[in-house]
Amino acid sequence: MKTMTCQQLGGPCDLGHRGETADEVIQAQDKHLKDAVKAGDETHRQARQEMKFRWLHPKQSLGWYNDSKAAFAALPED
């Protein structure tokens, strides 16, 4: 298991997301952003919009995805 924070994934806070793979952590970040915005947390709105764009335009977002996967791979195990 490894942990990446919301901030490491482009968000505004230091909430940690744990997962076995980068994809698990990215999906946890997506859920976190959805939940935060739904609860009225405006600090997460821009990051949520950017994540929505990435899901809708994966080819254009490949750089972010590859960077996130590389950052995850470089992390030590928890």
H or E element in which residue 74 lies: helix 62-74
The first and second tokens of residue 50, run together, are 């950017």
Q: pLDDT tens, 57-78?
A: 988 889 999 999 999 999 999 8
Q: Domain ranges in the chain?
A: 2-74
CA dihedral over 49, 33, 75, 18, signed as positive or negative = negative
Q: pLDDT tens, 6-41?
A: 999 999 999 999 999 999 999 999 999 999 999 999
H or E element in which residue 2 lies: strand 2-5
pLDDT at 58: 84
Distance CA 59, CA 44 (A): 24
